[in-house]
Amino acid sequence: MANSLMLSGNTTYLAGFWDDSYKTQLLGIVIAIAGNFLISISLNLQKYTHVRLSRQKDPEPYYKSVLWWCAIILMGIGELGNFAAYGFAPATLVAPLGCVSVIASAVISVAFLKETLRASDLLGGALAISGTYLLVTFAPNISQNITAFKVQKYLVSWQFLVYLFFEIIVFCILLYLYKKKDLKHIVVVLMLVALLASLTVISVKAVAGMITESVKGHLQLTYPIFYVMLIIMVVSCAFQVKFLNQAMEIFDATEVVPINFVFFTASAIIAGVIFYQEFYGVALLNIFMFLFGILLSFLGVFLITRNRERKKSEVPFIDIDQVPGQKSMDKIQPDASSISYGSLDAEAKPLGNKDGELKDTASNLLSSHKP
């Protein structure tokens, strides 16, 4: 009888524990999805603002647009949502949910910005949604109260120290190749971003977790480790943004977005597994299905972002109307095979001046615009 009561009590306790941890994790999932959805809206609003301003005759700076500032506010709210999600759900789950932003951005751009809907977009969206479902279903169902004591314990664990040692070595090698050897390869740049992102994920979850515990009544903000992790978070985020912007300047966004998503997600999962031990005690089938969901998300993001055409600017470099006394619809376009700005169309028939005067005037104008 006593054994039955004990067994019943343990079962009730485990059921209650699972229910509470599941609700907490579900809250983190919802916050992360909502945050990524707001980020996708923000990105499309910013894009719409730039497109609308480019069509104006005398466009004002984008930072004077109310719509642009609304987009920035939404971006901030979305990022805060992602930050808060790390306080409720495992890092190995929150990071892959970034694919929601890619899916939502593709849908919004087609619906409101009238971009072309391709077959690969539909297939990629289906794969990404399926992967997200597997992520949510088979994610490690753990409940960790991130306290200052736990963070200190994780920091000095041998697994993390070995991982940090190799990460520093790899980062230094890549930085040397990038800065000293001028190796501007997309993998090199985004690997630097991913290594910094690993520290960002660790510090963000630590800060968010300690803030969550403080809100619950267990004050953690008086411990020095909180401010150490806060500094790591700010510094790693700043350098991560710096290298990511450099990648965007050198390479096309259709290359940067999928590769960065893959690298960032992989680094976040490794950080969660090694530092927070989020897969400890998880069944092998759950791990396999979780990784399979990540693979589907990777494929979906790749299909959505690949081979997107960049819009060509319709604004001419030099307008023939700049030539005094000339009126023509012809434009001088750049010549891809030389460093000059090209020449006038031979069939163009400008008005007002003789051919000789026009050639002299146009030659002077072109010579003044040469780099």
- pLDDT tens digits along 14-26: 344 444 667 888 8
DSSP per position, 171-215: HHHHHHHHHTS----HHHHHHHHHHHHHHHHHHHHHHHHHHHHHH
* Per-residue confidence (pLDDT) for residue 154, from 0 to 100: 92
For the chain, give the percent of residues with pLDDT over 90. 22
pLDDT at 365 over 90: no
* CA dist., res. 225 & res. 136, Å (int): 31
Task: Please choose, from the candidates 201, 290, 302, the residue with its C-alpha nearest in 3D space to the C-alpha of residue 260.
Answer: 302
* Per-residue confidence (pLDDT) for residue 55, from 0 to 100: 81
How buried is residue 224: exposed, middle or buried, by Cβ count under 10 Å (0-12/13-18/19+)?
Answer: exposed
* CA dist., res. 361 & res. 1, Å (int): 107
- pLDDT tens digits along 186-236: 899 999 999 999 999 999 999 999 998 898 888 888 999 999 999 999 999
More confident residue, 368 or 104: 104
Both tokens assigned to 267: 């680094």
Name the residue with tokens 């990071």: 95
Average the pLDDT over 97-113 and give the result.
Answer: 82
For the chain, give the percent of residues with pLDDT over 70. 76
Q: How far is CA 92 from the centre of its chain?
A: 16
More confident residue, 231 or 103: 231
Both tokens assigned to 264: 């960032």
- pLDDT tens digits along 131-143: 988 988 888 776 6
